[in-house]
Amino acid sequence: MRPRFLALFTVLCLCALGAGVSDAAPIIYSFEAPGFLLGQTTPLLNKPPDAAGPPTFTTSFTDAVDPNGYQITNIPENGLMVGQSLFAPIVTSPLTLTFNTPVTQLSVDFAIDIPNGFPPGFLQLMTPSGTVDQPSSNVGGGNGFQGGTLDFITASPFTTATLQGFFAPGGATQIDIDNLNLTPAPVAEPSTLGLLGLGLAVLAGWRRKRRMPPAI
């Protein structure tokens, strides 16, 4: 019986792995109306994605230092900004993003206020799962704002992140962001959980059977 049991248990495990997890739909924020209105300022709380993704996913955009420091604008500080974007017209404090669902990937187009003739600056992303500094460049043109695209992927899901722009030598500067893309952490499908539960039940039953004394 033991070889047959092991074969059955192996099949169940392989089926569970095959069922795996469901890949969540990509989340995209383009900061367009009607989800985001021109002139709105932070805090922008529990906002569903306006370009792609389910309305059950929400993100809060806040500034802990200057609560109203970021606002929705339609002034393209850089060619990477299309239509409306989320801009810090004066402040240089970090923008905090809080997700109601853990994510494993974040990418965003950005522009940072770097005067002509200055060396490239960088956009810094900080999460509990890691930190990334993405250098800016003259890509996109614009009103004295260098641009770039930051990409971050991790195996450790996170629910909060901060974005802040810096000059190359240090010192914070204004930022503008658009086209925020997020990938929610994979979620185990019900069929997977059921198969794993069945496998554990079979294992428990087999172990109990082995412990039973022989009939007299």
List the chain domain ranges: 2-19+190-211, 24-185
**For range 137-146, the mean pLDDT:** 77
SS3 195: helix
Options 2.60.98, 1.10.1740, 3.30.1490, 2.60.120; CATH for 24-185 is 2.60.120
- Give this prediction's pTM: 0.78
Give the model confidence (pLDDT) of 12-64 as tens digits: 444 444 444 456 789 999 999 999 999 999 999 999 999 999 999 999 999 99
pLDDT over 50 at 180, yes or no: yes
Give the model confidence (pLDDT) of 72-114 as tens digits: 999 988 999 999 999 999 999 999 999 999 999 999 999 999 8
